[in-house]
Structure 1
Amino acid sequence: MTTFVDRVELHVAAGNGGHGCASVHREKFKPLGGPDGGNGGRGGDVTLVVDQSVTTLLEYHHSPHRKATNGKPGEGGNRSGKDGTDLVLPVPDGTVVLDKNGNVLADLVGQGTTYVAAQGGRGGLGNAALASARRKAPGFALLGEPGQSQDIVLELKTVADVALVGYPSAGKSSLISVLSAAKPKIADYPFTTLVPNLGVVTAGATVYTIADVPGLIPGASQGKGLGLEFLRHVERCSVLVHVLDTATLESERDPLTDLDVIEAELKEYGGLENRPRIVVLNKVDIPDGKDLADIIRPELEARGYQIFEVSAVSRHGLKELSYALAGIVAEARAAKPKEEATRIVIRPKAVDDAGFTVTQEEDGLYRVRGEKPERWVRQTDFNNDEAVGYLADRLNRLGVEEELMKAGARSGDGVAIGSEEDAVVFDWEPTMAAGAEMLGRRGEDHRFEAPRPAAQRRRDREAERDEAAQEYEGFNPFG
């Protein structure tokens, strides 16, 4: 059974915004008390949060589809709908978020670091919020926006100060077990370690983490063995430790060749050229191992490596190694720039930024793209003529019609608002500009105007009766 997963594909979907409500207040002796439709609730977000108690992505391997709840629709009586509940997904420290094309969206390092993977849709406005002096009784409300959804890839890159690299059975697991309190599986056959092991080492005043990276063999960077799965776990380390087996039982191997092979794979993987290296000659408690260490030591020193002869069994040389690693880690930490306080970056819009663009495509279709017009289209109920008129008003005030004219659009030309996948297409009529003010009066209702005096109402009824009588007197049923 799989217990460690460091890469998953996850489909996240935020909640949809609730629809606004179109309602008119009614009570005894006051049947038309004005619009009182409430706003829809906001859809819930899907947020990734670093939780250091989580060490694997196993949960998302078994359940890759995650969705937040929708916002509730508004109701009459000016009651707004309830917001959807945000979905918080805990991830391990060191998780990298990528899109389906491999582009990095976020690098989550540090307890509590968050990333909104999918944002909930806005709730639609009710007709009470849409009412104005010109539109006293809107007979429509805005629809809630759909929440964002996307497929993302989560990759775990272990957050460790020291990475132990080397051939299988070189003694990395034994070394980490005696340097720290970690208890990895140890056996005398290759690929004993199937997951990176992480341990905490204390050397003087310095506390650092150490990880062993399993499965490095020739061709690891191209996917051979387990190396490609776990090479990413060395990317965040401050120092690389080559663990060389000086007592290997394989006649075709020797420590110098092993070192060259692992260095070639690290170079092929890329991005690790500037990391300091230390060479550990392991298993020197065995006589043949000690002799081989003495033979190859001059060659390694000539290459510029710092050498440590150790034995995980006898604990020989471990104290010197742990303090040397602590010194390198401390220097690396001191060299890192201090984290600055959170800065607010203000990016003002250009003075000529209209907030949308109008382009003509090869088939003659004019396409309108922009955050506002696309959002307004999603909020419009196209089964309601009054809502469509309200959309026309908004687009005209934004200047869409003027830009269409400048782009050369003529009566009857096709206009699409939005991307190719979810665009709204219609035949454009340039007379909309002349009728914009008339459309702006949609929703006016004389029943909500101030009541007329009783004498005026009586005179109006008498005038209506006189007019009806005159029409009857002039009517000849026989032609």
Structure 2
Amino acid sequence: MASRFVDRAVIHLTAGDGGNGCASVHREKFKPLGGPDGGNGGNGGDVTLVVDPSVHTLLDFHFRPHARAGNGKMGMGSNRNGAAGQPLEMRVPAGTVVFTEDGELVADLVNPGTRFVAAQGGRGGLGNAALASRARKAPGFALLGEPGESRNLVLELRSVADVGLLGFPSAGKSSLISVLSAAKPKIADYPFTTLVPNLGVITAGSTVYTMADVPGLIPGASEGRGLGLDFLRHIERCAVLVHVVDCATLEPGRDPVSDVDALEAELARYTPGLGGKLDERPRVVVLNKIDVPEAAELAEFVRADFEERGLRVFEVSTASRKGLRELSFALAEVVTAYREAQPVLEPEKIVLRPLAVDDTGFTVSPDPEEEGAFVVRGARPERWIRQTNFANDEAVGYLADRLNRLGVEDALAKRGAKPGSPVTIGDIQFEWEPSTPGAAVHLSGRGTDVRLERNDRVGAAERKEARRIRRDGPDEPEDGPDDEPAGLTDDLGEVWTGEDPADPEQDR
């Protein structure tokens, strides 16, 4: 079975979910309540793309486009943290470019060993041991693990070659690369023999460079005609572009000059995805098949036209190998000059960009779909929503404290939110009720929060007082002078104590 060359693939990646934290209380003999000891959940595994020189195509991703990393394990009691999820490394060939589905460039992977985290694993949730504080000594809840990141990415392979061969079908590009290097492409006498790019390594003196054979281009290739649109991307990284011209063609209306002009027009219409400019790359013209007498005459005739344009021209024959040595050394000279002109790549510097003083990290805006509602957006509030177990009242109260400390409640009040206004954060919508700062919150039993309790039951003290009243009757108030009850308020708002403030004898 013949091998397949795949230079474009759409992959669906899912990183591992973080493990949930554990809510546990330490227990041993004579210490029934030894304090919280729930461990943290493990982080989910990342999905990472790694450049591997031994990989040459994207064939594996074509047949297996879905990939998922391992999930983190849940935390356990006795302060035991959960294990981290198994990361997933996916090997890609050098020259792989990563795009989003919308065409946005994400990463350009060229150097061997380069690593790119394509999907970030979710964070593990904190256990109740890590959530303990002076105000909350024994939390009855733990944080949930975050879900792993899911992304759909487009991988495109763009050959890392120094020399790119361009030409019409059957111009002799495959024959040229086969005699200059050890590459063995398929060669035949019909158009579009080459269906995939071929890559060869050439040694000229002390210079070693690579040459890519791009499948035949035709007019309209930049608009999707023929095979050119799929493989034009392989010339984006080339240091020099070589026009291989068939001087022995018998097709009417074709000549070497018009062939080069037609291909240059297609290159001008093609927009490189990496932002480079193909018109700035040096050009070389190779007049091929001069072993045919008519072709040799035509090559000699058109040579002056190309030289007037400032192009270097070489007359070669892949059959007799005439002019190949001069061509290989000339290309090595151009490639060396191009490499020396490139800026020196310096190690990437780590730049720390602290947040601005007035950057709150979230925004509050009116909900366009519901009148009187609001939407809170921000990495931290949305992450806290994902970490909260809404079946636990104390966890919900802890979330309210965090949002209040972040300033979400103040921002909602400034935007005109009223108690009971619908507020959406992430995937959760709730009715906003202003809360009290966490330091002033009095917590009741484990796993509960008094701010969320709606209990109409009569307390024990109230039941005891009711029994006393039924048994002894209500207390008789003590009457003062003129039978006025002590402690009543007069019309002026002053408290009546049974004494006349105008009587001087009462000071004694």
Preserved CA contact (<8 Å) 2:140 2:446: no
| Pairing 1:286–2:287 present | no
Structure 1 residue 346 displacement after superposition: 1.9
| Pairing 1:55–2:56 present | yes
Q: Any idea what the Cα deviations from partners look like across 1:85-133, whole Å, max 9, x if unmatched?
A: 1111111111110001000011111101111110000000011111122
Which residue, out of 324, 349, 355, partners 2:330?
A: 324
| Pairing 1:273–2:273 present | no
Structure 1 residue 258 displacement after superposition: 1.3
Between 252-261 and 236-245, the greater mean CA deviation after superposition: 252-261
SS of residue matched to 2:395? helix
Structure 1 residue identity aligned to 2:429: V
| Partner residue in 1 for 2:315 | 309
Preserved CA contact (<8 Å) 2:372 2:422: yes
| Percent of paired sites with the same residue | 64
Structure 2 residue identity aligned to 1:206: T
Rounded to whole Å, the distance in 2 between the matches of 1:77 and 1:163 is: 64
Preserved CA contact (<8 Å) 2:12 2:66: yes
Structure 1 residue 436 displacement after superposition: 4.2
Which residue, out of 406, 411, 423, partners 1:403?
A: 411
Rounded to whole Å, the distance in 1 between the matches of 2:192 and 2:445 is: 74
| Partner residue in 2 for 1:450 | none
| Partner residue in 1 for 2:461 | none
Structure 1 residue 370 displacement after superposition: 1.3
Alignment of 1:142-161 (within 5 A): 142-161=143-162
Rounded to whole Å, the distance in 1 between the matches of 2:87 and 2:203 is: 40
Q: Any idea what the Cα deviations from partners look like across 1:373-405, whole Å, max 9, x if unmatched?
A: 111110000000010001011111111111111
Change in Cα spacing, 1:403 to 1:239, as seen in structure 2 (3 Å) is: same
Rounded to whole Å, the distance in 1 between the matches of 2:31 and 2:193 is: 81
| Partner residue in 1 for 2:397 | 389
| Partner residue in 2 for 1:365 | 373
SS of residue matched to 1:307? strand
Alignment of 1:292-303 (within 5 A): 292-303=298-309
SS of residue matched to 2:97? strand
Structure 1 residue 250 displacement after superposition: 2.3
Rounded to whole Å, the distance in 1 between the matches of 2:289 and 2:384 is: 70
RMSD: 2.1
Structure 1 residue identity aligned to 2:399: L
Q: Any idea what the Cα deviations from partners look like across 1:3-53, whole Å, max 9, x if unmatched?
A: 111011110010000000111122233222221111100000011111111
Preserved CA contact (<8 Å) 1:19 1:142: yes
Rounded to whole Å, the distance in 2 between the matches of 1:364 and 1:267 is: 54
Rounded to whole Å, the distance in 1 between the matches of 2:443 and 2:342 is: 63
Rounded to whole Å, the distance in 1 between the matches of 2:124 and 2:215 is: 50
Alignment of 1:188-227 (within 5 A): 188-227=189-228
SS of residue matched to 2:375? strand
Rounded to whole Å, the distance in 1 between the matches of 2:294 and 2:248 is: 6
Rounded to whole Å, the distance in 2 between the matches of 1:134 and 1:169 is: 81
Structure 2 residue identity aligned to 1:426: F
**When the two structures are aligned, how many residues end up with a matched partner?**
448
Relative contact order, CA 8 A, sep 6+: which one is greater? 1
| Partner residue in 1 for 2:499 | none
Question: What is the TM-score of this pair, normalised by structure 2?
Answer: 0.85
Rounded to whole Å, the distance in 2 between the matches of 1:69 and 1:272 is: 43
Structure 1 residue 444 displacement after superposition: 6.9
Preserved CA contact (<8 Å) 1:137 1:443: no
Rounded to whole Å, the distance in 2 between the matches of 1:76 and 1:334 is: 61
Q: Any idea what the Cα deviations from partners look like across 1:429-475, whole Å, max 9, x if unmatched?
A: 23x13x64454646679xxxxxxxxxxxxxxxxxxxxxx9xx89x97
Change in Cα spacing, 1:351 to 1:442, as seen in structure 2 (3 Å) is: farther
Rounded to whole Å, the distance in 2 between the matches of 1:2 and 1:62 is: 13
Change in Cα spacing, 1:442 to 1:371, as seen in structure 2 (3 Å) is: farther
Rounded to whole Å, the distance in 2 between the matches of 1:408 and 1:215 is: 65
Structure 1 residue 214 displacement after superposition: 0.3
Structure 1 residue 234 displacement after superposition: 0.2
| Pairing 1:425–2:429 present | yes
Preserved CA contact (<8 Å) 1:159 1:237: yes
Rounded to whole Å, the distance in 1 between the matches of 2:252 and 2:124 is: 71
Rounded to whole Å, the distance in 2 between the matches of 1:305 and 1:438 is: 81
Preserved CA contact (<8 Å) 1:216 1:262: yes
Rounded to whole Å, the distance in 2 between the matches of 1:394 and 1:22 is: 19
Q: Any idea what the Cα deviations from partners look like across 1:309-356, whole Å, max 9, x if unmatched?
A: 011111111111111111111111111110112211121211111121
| Partner residue in 2 for 1:120 | 121
User: 5+ unaligned residues in a row in structure 2: which ranges?
Assistant: 272-276, 448-463, 473-508
Preserved CA contact (<8 Å) 1:389 1:440: no
Rounded to whole Å, the distance in 2 between the matches of 1:306 and 1:213 is: 21
| Partner residue in 2 for 1:236 | 237
Structure 1 residue 162 displacement after superposition: 0.4
SS of residue matched to 1:377? helix
Change in Cα spacing, 1:440 to 1:323, as seen in structure 2 (3 Å) is: farther
Rounded to whole Å, the distance in 2 between the matches of 1:237 and 1:328 is: 11
SS of residue matched to 1:164? strand
SS of residue matched to 2:118? strand
| Partner residue in 2 for 1:247 | 248
Change in Cα spacing, 1:98 to 1:284, as seen in structure 2 (3 Å) is: same
SS of residue matched to 1:15? coil
| Partner residue in 1 for 2:75 | 74
| Pairing 1:376–2:377 present | no
Change in Cα spacing, 1:56 to 1:441, as seen in structure 2 (3 Å) is: same
Preserved CA contact (<8 Å) 2:394 2:446: no
SS of residue matched to 2:217? coil
Structure 1 residue identity aligned to 2:339: R
Question: What is the TM-score of this pair, normalised by structure 1?
Answer: 0.90
Structure 2 residue identity aligned to 1:303: R
| Pairing 1:135–2:139 present | no
Rounded to whole Å, the distance in 1 between the matches of 2:77 and 2:438 is: 29
Preserved CA contact (<8 Å) 1:136 1:444: no
| Partner residue in 1 for 2:14 | 13
| Partner residue in 2 for 1:40 | 41
Rounded to whole Å, the distance in 1 between the matches of 2:358 and 2:409 is: 17
Q: Any idea what the Cα deviations from partners look like across 1:246-288, whole Å, max 9, x if unmatched?
A: 1113234222221111111111113311111000001111111
Rounded to whole Å, the distance in 1 between the matches of 2:118 and 2:392 is: 34
